[in-house]
Structure 1
Amino acid sequence: MALDYKQAGVDIEAGESLVSWLKEQQPRPMPFQERLVGGIGGFAALFRANFPEMKSPCLVSATDGIGTKLKLAIDFESYQGVGQDLVAMCVNDLICCGATPLFFLDYYACGKLRLPAAKEFLSGVLKACTESGCALIGGETAEMPGVYSHNDFDAAGFAVGVVDEAKTLGAHRVNVGDTLVAIESSGFHSNGYSLLRKVFAEDQESWKEELLIPTHLYVSAVKQVLESQNTALHAVAHITGGGLDNLLRVVPTGCQLQLHEWKIPEPFLEVERRTGLPRRELLKTLNCGVGMVLFVDSDASDSVIEIIQKQGFQSWVLGSVVEGKKEALSRWDFKKA
């Protein structure tokens, strides 16, 4: 008996149909339309790298995934939000360097290409790219029967941005006396779900909305701060896996952090109650309501908070940089706000 590729589990025509659909969904014009050479569907994607306004342009790259939050999305058949998660996890990392996102590529691997699910997911990817001002210029769809079960899939994202080297943000610009400005998270974002799925295993349906809220896209807000308070913004920390310990990635030697207490949203407190985790363990596991933190000049904090709030996010002073030994969260001191 003859056996073709489709009978073996790989539907080439379905993949081609998805690419055609995605081309039709692209915004007109796309972000950076004038820099794009060709379009989706080629062997590779081309982007004109010409930045005359920069003295020393540096390309900045980031890659990430969605983690086990995908399992919940699959169980609840809700895919658009995790499409946004994929983009957010990458472009939010880029902006931590002060980089402007340029373009994004996705990798979508599944056991069986189900077009309605794939289209819903990619619509979330495309919408998030547009909101972040970057172009979705390519990707890969891999149908892999035998590796993934029928309904399961995984995805990875790849983002590239650019920053003028002299304007790169990071620990090298952080000083004693800097103020930490927090930007709210939308919820759990896309981290901690191996724990969260166990915590809410018995009543996931009632917590579905909270568990599937997509990650905030912070590019626009941080770019607004950069444009109006450029020299006052020293570093940015994206609060992802590892919780508030991510702050240490932009703290230089000879400095430590003095954090204020803040109102932790109820879903995180519910995790604390159900698990019995000590508060500091909770803070180094989940974002606890803090999605991104900006390190700024102390006299600029009010202006920065105002800019962020105009972008639709809650924002507040989270703490400050003081002299001392760089230490993990378990040894940090917290002051009453």
Structure 2
Amino acid sequence: MDYQDAGVNIETGRSFVDKIRHSVESTYNPHVLGGLGGFGGYFELPTGYDNPVLVSGTDGVGTKLKIAQALNRHHTIGIDLVAMCVNDILTSGAKPLFFLDYLATGKLNPQQLSDVVTGIVEGCHLSGCALLGGETAEMPGFYGAGEYDVAGFCVGVVEKSKLIDGSQINIGDVAIGLSSSGLHSNGFSLVRKIVEVNGLSWGDRFDTLGDKTLGDVLLTPTQIYVKPILEALKSGIEIKGMAHITGGGLPENLPRCLGENQSVKINPESWPALPIFQWIANMGNVRKSAMFDTFNMGIGFVIIVPKNQANFTIKWLKSQENNAYKIGEVIEGNREMITL
């Protein structure tokens, strides 16, 4: 017997690496040393920092993968993977430097996973980081036919004196929300349960969702906020705190950027609702508080700025084609979100 008799095809793995090589190398910049295929990736720290701090993050895509696999559409999953990681480290003001991925599957399907990598590459281009390397694991008997899982790892850098950790936030500062593109990569276990209970399919269409199928809407990739936020910082906008709105929604994530004895008061009517969230609430009979605890509700990223900069910041973000809204303000409290 050999490894192929056990379900692992080494040659297919080698061919897969060759298939994605050009795409991966398109993300390289002068700081990348070496090429694809070594035991580790090499990245030279950029110059221009007096006291650089490295910021790292890791995440996955969750059960959104189930929908992609059911529809055999995988190109947006890679964007989701990058977005979940780079948006996290962005909250500290860090510029993403490089990204690594881990793909695990029962049987390696080169076209399927190439589509995933194509999305990862696109996400790296959108966030300005290099896809430095990765790992593909073929694990027969562990994953079913057509199933795979993904994880991502990102490292960024920020000048220590410019590190954003929420300690600069004051009472009266304003919370500005940037629109999400949809569910992003959270809450899909609940969505899948609603679809199952109602006997629906991913190809169904609903008037409230426009001309797209339910699967189309749900597979909309996670928004990447790196470029507009880094440009805002360069332009002199004083961002005192940031929150990436992921699992747990606004109530869990927004207070994470606050200081001691601070809370944030939010007006949920201050930004337009996306149709998909109303669809979920109606189809699943989900109460409003549970919706906010599970989904981003149309706000994917929040920045905290001084009150006297709020209007200018919103105008500047809109000039960069980013929908932004004044959604609340910092008040005295115990690190929680309060709604009007």
TM-score above 0.5: yes
3-state SS in 2 of match to 1:117? helix
Q: Deviations over 1:130-182 (max 9, x none)?
A: 11100001000000001111210000000000001111112211111111110
Asked if 1:37 corresponds to 2:33, the answer is yes
Q: Which residue of 2 aligns with 1:249?
A: 256
Asked if 1:88 corresponds to 2:83, the answer is yes
Q: Tell me, yes or no, if the aligned pair for 1:229 and 1:304 is still in contact at 8 Å.
A: no
3-state SS in 2 of match to 1:54? coil
Query: How do 1:107-186 residues align onto structure 2 when only pairs under 5 Å count?
Result: 107-186=102-181
Cα RMSD after superposing both structures: 1.3
Q: Which residue of 2 aligns with 1:220?
A: 227
Asked if 1:259 corresponds to 2:234, the answer is no
Q: Deviations over 1:290-320 (max 9, x none)?
A: 0000101111112222232233221110111
Q: Partners of 1:229 and 1:282 in 2: how far apart?
A: 35
3-state SS in 1 of match to 2:120? helix
Among 231, 234, 239, the residue aligned to 1:233? 239
Q: Which residue of 1 aligns with 2:2?
A: 4
Q: Partners of 1:311 and 1:9 in 2: how far apart?
A: 50
**Structure 1 position 27, deviation (Å):** 5.4
Q: Deviations over 1:175-199 (max 9, x none)?
A: 1111111000000000011101111
Q: Which residue of 2 aligns with 1:298?
A: 307
**Structure 1 position 7, deviation (Å):** 2.1
Gaps of 5+ in 2: 205-213
Q: Partners of 1:275 and 1:171 in 2: how far apart?
A: 36
- Matched to 1:171, the amino acid is G
Deviating more after overlay: 82-91 vs 9-18: 9-18
3-state SS in 1 of match to 2:170? coil
TM-score, scaled relative to structure 2: 0.92
Aligned length: 325
Q: Which residue of 2 aligns with 1:47?
A: 43
Q: Partners of 1:50 and 1:309 in 2: how far apart?
A: 30
3-state SS in 2 of match to 1:119? helix
Q: Tell me, yes or no, if the aligned pair for 2:256 and 2:335 is still in contact at 8 Å.
A: no
Q: Tell me, yes or no, if the aligned pair for 2:268 and 2:339 is still in contact at 8 Å.
A: no
Q: Partners of 1:63 and 1:333 in 2: how far apart?
A: 30
Q: Deviations over 1:262-316 (max 9, x none)?
A: 3321211121122333212211110000000010111111222223223322111
3-state SS in 2 of match to 1:309? helix
Q: Partners of 1:140 and 1:27 in 2: how far apart?
A: 15
Q: Partners of 1:239 and 1:298 in 2: how far apart?
A: 22
3-state SS in 1 of match to 2:113? helix
- Matched to 1:249, the amino acid is R
- Matched to 2:339, the amino acid is D
Q: Which residue of 2 aligns with 1:279?
A: 288
3-state SS in 1 of match to 2:167? helix
Asked if 1:17 corresponds to 2:15, the answer is yes
Deviating more after overlay: 134-143 vs 166-175: 166-175
Q: Tell me, yes or no, if the aligned pair for 2:76 and 2:219 is still in contact at 8 Å.
A: yes
Shift in alpha-carbon separation, 1:279–1:40, aligned structure 2, 3 A: same
Q: Partners of 2:63 and 2:33 in 1: how far apart?
A: 35
Q: Which residue of 1 aligns with 2:187?
A: 192
Q: Percent identity?
A: 38
Q: Partners of 1:305 and 1:224 in 2: how far apart?
A: 14
Q: Tell me, yes or no, if the aligned pair for 1:224 and 1:307 is still in contact at 8 Å.
A: no
3-state SS in 1 of match to 2:250? helix
Q: Tell me, yes or no, if the aligned pair for 2:105 and 2:138 is still in contact at 8 Å.
A: yes
3-state SS in 1 of match to 2:114? helix
- Matched to 1:106, the amino acid is D
- Matched to 1:34, the amino acid is P
Q: Tell me, yes or no, if the aligned pair for 1:181 and 1:295 is still in contact at 8 Å.
A: yes
Q: Partners of 1:40 and 1:326 in 2: how far apart?
A: 45
Asked if 1:210 corresponds to 2:217, the answer is yes
- Matched to 1:283, the amino acid is F
- Matched to 1:197, the amino acid is R
Shift in alpha-carbon separation, 1:287–1:254, aligned structure 2, 3 A: same
**Structure 1 position 50, deviation (Å):** 4.2
Q: Partners of 2:170 and 2:318 in 1: how far apart?
A: 25
Q: Partners of 1:195 and 1:27 in 2: how far apart?
A: 38
Q: Tell me, yes or no, if the aligned pair for 1:109 and 1:143 is still in contact at 8 Å.
A: yes
Q: Tell me, yes or no, if the aligned pair for 1:221 and 1:307 is still in contact at 8 Å.
A: no
